[in-house]
Amino acid sequence: MKKLLFVNALARPKEVSRTWQLCDAYISSFLEKHPEYELEELVLYERGVNCYSVEEINRRAELIANKKYDDPMFDMAWQFAGADAIVVGAPYWDLSFPAVLKAYVEAVCVNGITFHYTASGAEGLSKFSTMVYLTTSGGNNGDKKFGADYMEAVAHFLGKGEYKEAAAYGLDIIGNDVETILARAKEEVSSL
């Protein structure tokens, strides 16, 4: 069975998270359209994903240099590399996304697992056919979508699959119809 990996960078519970609503709409639609897939969810806050310490950075570099990719330090990289499709859900925080998502990206960017170097530069090794990034924001971000732009770069760096994104903006602006904004965004994600 194929795997849809849901990288969950949502700190708030389902009942109050607007980003959760988008993720749920996308995942439900995707699995309905693609019954050959099963969902595998990685909840970053529960997994305890953190920035590496100096000791961990040095250990990681040594493991990579010695091609010891079976170390548990690389479990998330293998999971990412092996996913057939990926959806990343994260709110728009502090001009991009929660720090836990950046720490996750650092953990999955492993030379020899998710990418490698060739004579012409880096080449992605991850097999996903599609990577989707979903976010919500209280304000209107205009062209300041640093989180989505970053995740697009990650997708192109680590794989050859298609990148898509969707968002619901302006959810905290006084006078905006939040339910209408969310309904439109859910329709959009259901058609991705």
Nearest CA to 160 among 103, 105, 122? 122
pTM: 0.94
Q: How far is CA 46 from CA 9, 49, 81, 85, 158, in A?
A: 10, 8, 21, 22, 24
Check pLDDT > 80 for residue 143: no
Mind listing the pLDDT tens digit for each residue in 98-107?
999 999 999 9
Q: Look up the CATH number of the domain holding residue 174.
A: 3.40.50.360
Mind listing the pLDDT tens digit for each residue in 96-138?
899 999 999 999 999 999 999 999 999 999 999 999 999 998 8
Q: Which domain holds residue 16?
A: 2-190
Count: domains in the chain? 1
Q: The tokens of 52 are what?
A: 């590496």
Q: The tokens of 30 are what?
A: 């995707």
